[in-house]
Amino acid sequence: MKKELLTIALGAMLTVGVTGTATAKVEGDTIILGSSISLTGKYATNGLHTQRGYDYAVDVINAAGGVKVGGKSYKLAVKYYDDESTPARGAQLAERLIQQDGVDYMLGPYSSGMVKAIAPVSEKFGVPMVEAEGASRSLFTQGYKYLFAVLSTSEQYLATAIDMAAASTSDPKSIRVALAFEGDPFSMDVRAGVLDKINEYGMKIVIDDQLPADLSDMSTTLTKTKALKPDILIVSGHSKGAATAARQIDEMKVNVPMIAMTHCEAAKVHEKFPNASTGFLCPTQWVETLSKSDPMFGSAAEWNTGFKTAYPSYTSVPYQSAQASAAVYVWKEAFEAANSFDKDTVRDAIAAVEMETFYGDIKFSENGNNIAKPMFMRQIGADSSYSLVEKFDDMTFPRNVKY
Amino acid sequence: MLDNLQLLFVWAPVINIQIILEGIFVGAVFALSAYGLALVWGVMNIKNLAQGDFVIMGGYMALALTSANVHLALTMAIVIVTMFIYGWVVYVVMIRRIIDQDMFVSLLATFGLSLLMQQVMNLIFGPEVQTIDMELPVYEAFDGMVTIPSSKIISLIMAAIIAVTVILFMKKSRTGQAIRATAQDARAARVLGIDTDRVYAFTFAFNAALCGAAGVLVSIIWVIQPFYGITYSVRTFAIVTAAGLGNLPGVISAGFGIGLFEKYTGMIMGTAYEVAAPVSILLLVLIWRQISMRRNRQVVK
């Protein structure tokens, strides 16, 4: 009899113990999401944009009643660690989140490089991660089962610029292209997408320069550009590439009818070089004039106003924040669809997500990237404003620049 | 590559002028910071790995001052003075303690200083690429094929003034003579009544001031970012090694030479190889020295 009691007691203790660890990620009525994010170091600015995007979404979702699982309402909360913009630290912190803090649901870090470092860890422990800031194509060719990204992948960034160049003439084969790309994984992906399009149209590449990582001077590439007079110039090298290019395009009075580059907004080329940047084509993951909406955040414009009210320091909101909010929203939908906290059930629910949001449509491919949302292209006008360009007729061509 | 050569010498030879000009502008900046490194290396035998970060620090100070609407000439003066003081403080706090240690200690210590400076600048100014845009006119020549921004002309003039002042200072002034004496033989200098500790402090501070001046020029003509220091460190090391220690006019001409070489490499092989150019020169010089000094080498038994 005594022995039986002991067994029951032990069994009860074990059960409590097991559920104790199993529910570490759900404390009381709060679901804990974990994220290692760059709050210091070279990605600090964009890391902060991301964190605010997460925080804003959490606040809105909690204020609207939280997440309903099994007929009960749960609040969301995010546990952050600062990865100091170093991939090795990111991987360490991901392990700490999962193993020590018992986090079973992850939000992504900032940048493809960081996701690349963290994904193997979350994959090893079978912890689903919804990320919003890693666009590199190579993330989705590894066969990861627990990695999902709400944003468009990098090879789509500038491909539309080539489509537009092709539409500018009746003979796309006659178009001469100048390319200047940094050698990092992201820019190389962007380049691959551009090259596919160039080959598709049979255009001619006249300059194909690789920019160094510590880029502060690309005058030789631009000198060549002036001599060869291509029809379109395409640049990709993160914010520093955009800033350097805009500054030197201005200084060297480079007059190419079409110029497309990534990170115009992040580098604020429209503010710093209003003359030279007139007519630049800039890809973006999201625009606040997008005609998409959802019941949680409303329309894109409503999310935009809401975010600005929460963080009044922003004059224009970076898309990094918007996609971060969208990632949190995916978690809410997945929990509710799964109606469970089991991480594999939730993982399958994420994989099955198909929803319209203020950020655009979200539907994941087998590989985890979002295939429902296109990339958008905007052009900088003479008044330094950005306007959406959906087809060739929408844009000013050739760019009307006064040096 | 063949296309680029053709472009340079057949289709549009006029762009040679642009490249030579760019090379000269680059060279002027390199020459300043390399001169400082040659001094510190030659006089104190300290290999300062934070050289490039001193340059970037000068750039950020210039950025902060010009955004507060301080005139450029005044900015230059303030940066030089502040960097001089900063250099002196670094000497007293750190360099003095490592000056008699072996090479690795000085490399490690200055590398640590470099990391510290990068992170502090990153905290204060943020990781974004920044630049001083003075909105000065740009001159054009040869039907717009060659453009010369006034900012680059101004920076070249500033570099020339500083270089001439430095050379005169080293030749004529008592302190300059003391520095040269210490470089030749520190012990003899001490015997003759030169306060070598003071000379060391002055040399290091002087180097920081020169780097600061170079930094002002960098922020006017290119862009700066907290982590860009390393490229300037690498280039100055290449220049000083190529020119040889104790050959100060050689350092200045090597600065211009490497500037030109870098630009031509970039033009012919592509921009990615621009950064590799000074390093390849460094390699060639080292190989050449190995060969040419072979006959002097002996085995000590």
ipTM: 0.83
In the predicted structure, residue A69 carries a pLDDT above the cut 90: yes
- What residues pair up with A77 in beta bridges, in sequence order? A32
Q: Which residues of B touch A277 (CB under 8 A)?
A: none
CB contact under 8 A, A43 and B127: yes
For residues A40 and A126, membership in a common domain is answered with yes
- Enter the pTM of the model: 0.79
Confidence class of residue A62 from pLDDT cuts 50, 70 and 90?
Answer: very high
Cα–Cα nearest to B260, from B4, B20, B34, B28: B20
Nearest residue, CB atoms, B274 vs list A220, A223, A226: A220
Q: Which residues of B touch A253 (CB under 8 A)?
A: 138, 140, 144, 147
pLDDT tens for B101-134 read 888 898 999 999 999 999 999 889 988 888 887 7
Minimal C-alpha gap between A38 and chain B (Å): 12
CB contact under 8 A, B133 and A228: no
Q: Considering only CB atoms, which residues of chain A are within 8 Å of chain B?
A: 40-45, 85, 180, 183, 208-212, 214, 216-221, 223-224, 226-228, 239-240, 243-244, 247, 251-253, 255, 266-267, 272-273, 403
**Do A232 and A161 meet the contact criterion of CB atoms below 8 Å apart?**
yes
CA angle, residues A232, A235, A241, in degrees to nearest 5? 150
Report domain extents, chain B: 2-295
State the residue for tokens 């700066």.
Answer: B224
CB contact under 8 A, A183 and B272: yes
**B66 part of contact set with chain A, CB < 8 Å:** no
For residues A162 and A147, membership in a common domain is answered with no
pLDDT tens for A200-231 read 999 999 999 998 887 788 888 999 998 889 99
Instruction: Please indicate whether residue B292 or residue A346 has the higher confidence score (pLDDT).
Output: A346
For residue B143, what is the DSSP state? T
Give me the number of domains chain A comprises.
2
Q: How much is the average pLDDT of A54-61?
A: 96
Domain residue limits at A345? 22-152+288-372
CB contact under 8 A, A40 and B270: no
pLDDT tens for B19-69 read 898 888 888 888 888 989 988 988 888 889 999 999 999 999 999 999 999
The CATH code for residues B2-295 is 1.10.3470
pLDDT tens for A351-376 read 999 999 999 999 999 999 999 998 88
Structure tokens at B144: 């717009």
For residues A232 and A343, membership in a common domain is answered with no
For residues A35 and A63, membership in a common domain is answered with yes
For residue B99, what is the DSSP state? T
Residue A269: inside a domain: yes
The mean predicted confidence, pLDDT, of chain A is 88
For residues A214 and A94, membership in a common domain is answered with no
Nearest residue, CB atoms, A227 vs list B15, B151, B224: B15
For residues A236 and A383, membership in a common domain is answered with yes
Q: What is the pLDDT along chain B (301 residues), one digit of tens a residue?
A: 667 777 777 777 788 888 898 888 888 888 888 989 988 988 888 889 999 999 999 999 999 999 999 998 999 999 999 999 999 999 999 999 998 888 889 899 999 999 999 999 988 998 888 888 777 788 888 777 888 888 888 888 988 898 889 889 988 999 999 998 998 888 999 999 999 999 999 999 999 999 999 999 999 888 899 988 988 898 898 888 888 776 778 888 888 888 899 899 988 888 888 888 888 888 888 888 888 888 777 776 6
Q: Which residues of B touch A219 (CB under 8 A)?
A: 18, 22, 263
For residues A258 and A383, membership in a common domain is answered with yes
Separation CA A54–CA A41 (nearest Å): 20
Nearest residue, CB atoms, B127 vs list A42, A244, A403: A42
- Residue A306: give its domain's CATH number: 3.40.50.2300
Q: How much is the average pLDDT of A82-92?
A: 93
Q: Which residues of A touch B16 (CB under 8 A)?
A: none
Q: Which residues of B touch A266 (CB under 8 A)?
A: 128
Residue A401: inside a domain: no
Query: SS3 letters for chain A?
Result: CHHHHHHHHHHHHHHHHHHHHHCCCEECCEEEEEEEECCCCCCHHHHHHHHHHHHHHHHHHHHCCCEEECCEEEEEEEEEEECCCCHHHHHHHHHHHHHCCCCCCEECCCCHHHHHHHHHHHHHCCCCEEECCCCCHHHHCCCCCCEEECCCCHHHCCHHHHHHHHHCCCCHHHCEEEEEEECCHHHHHHHHHHHHHHHHHCCEEEEEEEECCCCCCCHHHHHHHHHHCCCEEEEECHHHHHHHHHHHHHHCCCCCCEEEECCCCCCCHHHHCCCCCCCEEEEECCCCCCCCEECCCEEHHHHHHHHHHHCCCCCCCCHHHHHHHHHHHHHHHHHHHHCCCCHHHHHHHHHCCEEEECCEEEEECCCCEECCCCCEEEEECCCCCEEEECCHHHCCCCCCCCC
Antiparallel, parallel or unpaired: β A30-37 and A72-82: parallel
